[in-house]
Structure 1
Amino acid sequence: MRALVLTGPGKAEVQDVPAPSPGNDQVVVDVERVGVCGTDMELFSGEMSYLHTGASSYPLRLGHEWCGTVTAVGAGVGESWVGRRVTGDTMIGCGHCRRCEQGRHWVCEQRFELGIRDGLPGALAEQVAVPAAYLHALPDPVDATLGALVEPGGNALRCVQAAQLSPGERLLVLGTGTIGLLVAMFARAGGAEVHLIGRGDDDLALPKSLGFGHAWTRTALPDLPWDAVVDASTGAEMPPFALDRVEPGRRVVYIGLSVPPSLVDTRDLVLKDVTAVGVLGASAGLAGAINAYADGSVDPRPLVAATVTLDEIVDVFAGRRPPGTGPKVHVDPRL
């Protein structure tokens, strides 16, 4: 089959690789759609921290935002999965450590991360093998575009849940990329008053077109009490900015990562009695994201600028994005 392979920093190519066979407790999925995110871009550039800690290494097969149809099952998996449209969890725990047994498999020390850490090749390919225990079935209203947005949606939903807002309270979202806009969508669906910060006026056009009238640059941000702040940016200066802006006694949620380390003064955290929450992975939010997409309360399809082929995604990694206003690029490996 054909698959995208990173062969080194700044080097990506489509290769013919062996098609997967389902191992014990696994299924094989014919991939229908895959999203490319900032983590993939950092793995391509060589900046991703996992490449420096040894958790990831080249050659590497990307793809962790995906959907498709199960076409084969291994030993221990019911035949009823065959023919079902699915997506899956990126975080694959060992299943027997203390964290996994407590239901926190996404922080298992021995976890695989599909298409990110070594061990499980990703879905930027015609087929992918996935542990059946980590599958999520997709209902009919969740089309291919939505299916490939479940993983980032699960991350965003976890951020909104961690913010612990009541309807009518005010949320400030830092960043207008895919995660920031998804956080805004889920928070709006829950009744929050949502404000966003972009780097410049060009970043504000899309959120405004999506009905978010409160979209600002940092310099234009009004002086309002913020009941929660979600940092979905990649700027090293933004984590302390979030802490500075949030109301005392409330919550800051961190999901964005900067390449250089960011610094938060814990004296400010303590003296404001603020709770800071970090979000890693969509695992606990996947089912909720699917439900929100299925019932129409959240529709993130306008975030997708274009759907391209495997060959064309090589150009995207090289910086030649297709035209389109959304921050997300999808791949259809069948094209």
Structure 2
Amino acid sequence: MRAFVVTGAHQSAVEEVEPPRAGPGQVVVDVSRVGICGTDIEFFTGEMAYLHQGHARYPMRLGHEWCGTVASVGRDVDPGWIGRRVTGDTMLGCGHCRRCRSGYGHVCADRSEIGIRGGFAGALAEQLAVPVTALHALPDEVDDTAGALVEPGGNALRSVQGAALEPGDRVLVLGPGTIGLLVAEFARAEGIEVHVVGKSPRSLEFARTRGFTGVWTGDQIPDLPWDAVIDAANDPALPARALSLVEPGRRVVYIGLAGTPSLVDTRTVALKDVTAVGILGGSAGLAGTIARYASGAVDPRPLVAATIGLAQVGAALAGQLPDDAGPGPKVHVDPRR
């Protein structure tokens, strides 16, 4: 089968590789759509920390935001999965340790992450092998575009839930990328007043088309009481600014990751009686995301700027969008092209 392979920093190719076989407890999925994520770009450029920490190494097959149809199943798997449209969890815990047994498999010390760490090949290929325990069935109301946005949606939904907001509260979302905009969409669906902060004119212009209460640059943020601030950006200065902006006694949620360490004064955390929440992975938010997409409460599809084939992935990771790309922040891949 064809697969997109990163062989080194800024080095990649579409290669013919052996198709996966469904091992015990696994299924093989015919991949229909994959999202390109900022993590994929960091692996392509060589900046991803996992490369330097020994959790990942080249050659790599990327892709952890995906959907498709189950083509075959391994031993001990219900054959009723065959033919079903699915997406799946990225974070695969060992299943045996204290964290996994307590419901925290997404932070298992020995976890694999599909297309990221632990040797599980990613979905930028015609087929993908994945444990059946990671699968989530997709209803007909969730098409392929939305299906490949379930994983980032799970991260965004967990961020909103971590902010502990009530209808009528006000949230400030830092960063109008895919995660930030999904955070804003989920929050608005809960009756929360949403404001978004960004930098680039292109991202700000697109965010304004989404109809949020306010879209601002960093120097335009209005002097309002912010019941939560959710940092979905990659600016190392923003975690401290989020803390300075949030109302005392409320919550700051950190889901964005900067390339360098961020400094937060814990004296401010204590003196403002603020709860700081970190989010890693969408595992606990996947089912809720599918339900919200299926009901129409949140429609993520306008965020997709273009859908390309495997041969165009290298250019996309290098920042080259197709000439007909729309204004959204997300690029999707159809490996069948």
TM category, shorter: over 0.9
1:163 aligns with 2:163: yes
1:324 Cα offset (Å): 1.7
Match of 2:29 in 1: 29
Q: Give the Cα–Cα distance (whole angstroms) in 1 for the partners of residues 5 and 264 of structure 2.
A: 37
Match of 2:80 in 1: 80
Q: Give the Cα–Cα distance (whole angstroms) in 2 for the partners of residues 275 and 213 of structure 1.
A: 25
**Deviations 1:134-168, CA, capped at 9 Å, x for gaps:** 10000000000000000000000000000000000
Match of 2:286 in 1: 286
* Equivalent AA in structure 2 for residue 161 of structure 1: Q
Q: Give the Cα–Cα distance (whole angstroms) in 2 for the partners of residues 114 and 60 of structure 1.
A: 11
* Equivalent AA in structure 2 for residue 122 of structure 1: G
1:65–1:149 Cα contact (<8 Å) kept: yes
Match of 1:99 in 2: 99
1:279 Cα offset (Å): 0.1
Match of 1:239 in 2: 239
Match of 1:40 in 2: 40
Q: Give the Cα–Cα distance (whole angstroms) in 2 for the partners of residues 142 and 242 of structure 1.
A: 34
With normalisation by structure 1, the TM-score equals: 0.99
Q: Give the Cα–Cα distance (whole angstroms) in 1 for the partners of residues 295 and 227 of structure 2.
A: 27
**Deviations 1:52-80, CA, capped at 9 Å, x for gaps:** 10001000000000000001000010000
Matched ranges for 1:225-304 at <5 A? 225-304=225-304
SS of 1:115 mapped into structure 2: coil
Match of 2:192 in 1: 192
**Deviations 1:161-214, CA, capped at 9 Å, x for gaps:** 000000000000000000000000000000000000011443211111111140
Runs of 4+ in 1 over 6 A off after TM superposition: none
1:57–1:118 Cα contact (<8 Å) kept: no
Question: Unpaired segments of 5 or more residues in structure 1?
Answer: none
Match of 1:172 in 2: 172
1:318 Cα offset (Å): 2.2
SS of 1:305 mapped into structure 2: strand
Q: Give the Cα–Cα distance (whole angstroms) in 2 for the partners of residues 20 and 200 of structure 1.
A: 41
Match of 1:54 in 2: 54
Match of 1:324 in 2: 326
2:193–2:213 Cα contact (<8 Å) kept: no
Q: Give the Cα–Cα distance (whole angstroms) in 1 for the partners of residues 176 and 21 of structure 2.
A: 40
Question: Unpaired segments of 5 or more residues in structure 2?
Answer: none
Match of 2:211 in 1: 211
1:60–1:118 Cα contact (<8 Å) kept: no
Percent identical: 64
**Deviations 1:268-304, CA, capped at 9 Å, x for gaps:** 1011000000000000000000000000000010000
Q: Give the Cα–Cα distance (whole angstroms) in 2 for the partners of residues 115 and 15 of structure 1.
A: 16
1:201–1:217 Cα contact (<8 Å) kept: no
State how many pairs are aligned.
335
Greater Cα offset, 314-323 or 36-45: 314-323
Alpha-carbon RMSD across the aligned residues, in angstroms, is 0.7
Q: Give the Cα–Cα distance (whole angstroms) in 2 for the partners of residues 268 and 44 of structure 1.
A: 37
SS of 1:240 mapped into structure 2: helix
1:3–1:61 Cα contact (<8 Å) kept: yes
Q: Give the Cα–Cα distance (whole angstroms) in 2 for the partners of residues 255 and 218 of structure 1.
A: 18
* Equivalent AA in structure 1 for residue 316 of structure 2: V
Greater Cα offset, 211-220 or 177-186: 211-220
Q: Give the Cα–Cα distance (whole angstroms) in 1 for the partners of residues 61 and 268 of structure 2.
A: 42
Q: Give the Cα–Cα distance (whole angstroms) in 2 for the partners of residues 266 and 213 of structure 1.
A: 31
SS of 1:154 mapped into structure 2: helix
1:319 Cα offset (Å): 2.1
**Deviations 1:84-132, CA, capped at 9 Å, x for gaps:** 0000000001000000000111000000000000321000000000000
